[in-house]
Structure 1
């Protein structure tokens, strides 16, 4: 059962992920980091892959899980839960909310976002989080039926490569133009508690923080590069 909006308002969702090849990318490690996050006040976790979703669901049966599955295909730049197979797998693994790329980019095998959203809502009754990069794509995702909209892909698509997250300039526009009942999340580039508060002040209902909390590989590498460049 998804918590009431009031319970999530102003909350922190921790993205608990690890890159391919990392020793952190093990079910028990991901589940332990998720439990530690929840024990310390996170309202939910964002997890990648059916395996990790299932591991956390078993360890933390009452957790709010935003699930996705990153898969790459040669005919498309879309990799966050790109098609129906991935949507089904994320849902079956135990996610409460399915996150998916909701940009205007061409999807693998010619899949159509509108059809995927409708099918996920009709066949599964799923709550969907639209990972977007722009105002237009956020509004389109909400119009299609995505109940959550996140700034996850701001700065990470071909159209926004010149922009750097966090999406400070995008959040106020989304808040002003999205339907009032759309849950708006700032995700991407948040590196401190002060920035999380800033996201809230600009209109985000909640924030997702990943690398700054759980990104051991990326954080250590960043410190190393800075010290080597000194």
Structure 2
């Protein structure tokens, strides 16, 4: 296992993202958010978009997991080889990309994409997966981090209320020791984060519940107005 990945064991990773059109959709703001979660004890951060990756990289001392979302349907998380190489050029320490078996926009398979990436980058890769089969296939390619990021967001699995603990349990017993299992997706409370770790996650990613005040506000607003 890559030393950078080994160091993440038993830690919290925080995803620092804002959506287009939101008040916080600014690389400087995301860099400040990343610095704030580093102060709070995050072991690494996920950053989206080339400008955000550059800004966050300059603002923190912890590893930056870089992605580039392009589009809204199908494969859109670092969807092509060109996107992946651009994320690396922006300074990401760990490259995350779609790890599903769906067709990719540039016609390459995940295996072909990883093969080309490895000609330029020997650091950790993270596969954002949606199912047991996709996760195992990504691990077979030597991908260092297997994330449950897309579980419930494709037809492969039903969307659970919280993190997909069943998938975590399945993967914990089947992934090779060279790949680290990371829980990501709908981890909204400390108890859910602890449950994900107990289910076998090497590390846990939290995003919305820490870094997205618009969503947090709607949760509390709904609770108050419905009371």
Task: Provide the TM-score with structure 1 as the length reference.
Answer: 0.92
Structure 1 162/35 Cα, relative in aligned 2: closer, same or farther at 3 Å? closer
8 Å CA contact 2:67, 2:96 repeated in 1: yes
- The answer to whether the 8 Å contact 1:155/1:164 transfers is no
Q: Does the C-alpha gap of structure 1 residues 144 and 7 become closer, same or farther in structure 2, counting only changes over 3 Å?
A: closer
Q: What are the within-5 Å matches in structure 2 for residues 137-148 of structure 1? A: 137-148=134-145
In 1: Cα distance, 2:42 partner to 2:200 partner: 19
**2-structure distance, mates of 1:147, 1:55:** 25
Change (3 A) 1:5 1:112: closer
Q: For the residues of structure 1 that align with 2:182 and 2:91, how far apart are their CA atoms?
A: 21
Hey, what does 2:174 align to over in structure 1? 177
Structure 1 match to 2:193: 196
Contact 1:65 1:95 in 2 (8 A): yes
Structure 2, unaligned stretches of length 5 or more? none
Shift of 1:6: 4.3
Match status 1:94 vs 2:91: yes
Counterpart residue number, 1:122: 119
Pairs aligned (count): 226
Shift of 1:3: 5.1
| 1:30 equivalent in alignment to 2:34 | no
Let me know the Cα RMSD of the aligned residues. Answer: 1.7
- Residue of structure 1 equivalent to 2:109: 112
Shift of 1:18: 0.6
Q: Deviations over 1:106-140 (max 9, x none)?
A: 11132211110111122222421000111110000
Q: CA deviation at 1:160?
A: 2.2
- Counterparts in 2 of 1:1-230, with a 5 A limit? 4-60=4-60, 62-72=61-71, 77-230=74-227
Gaps of 5+ in 1: none
SS at structure 1 position matched to 2:106: helix
TM-score scaled by structure 2?
Answer: 0.93
Contact 1:118–1:145 (CA under 8 A) maintained in structure 2? no
Write the distance in 2 (CA, Å) between the matches of 1:120 and 1:127.
11
- The structure where helix makes up a greater share of residues is 1
Aligned partner of residue 124 in structure 1, secondary structure: coil
Partner Cα separation in structure 2 for residue 128 and residue 5 of structure 1 = 10
Structure 1, residues 128-162: CA drift from partner, whole Å, max 9, x if none? 10001111100000111211000000111122245
Alpha-carbon distance, 1:204 to partner = 0.4
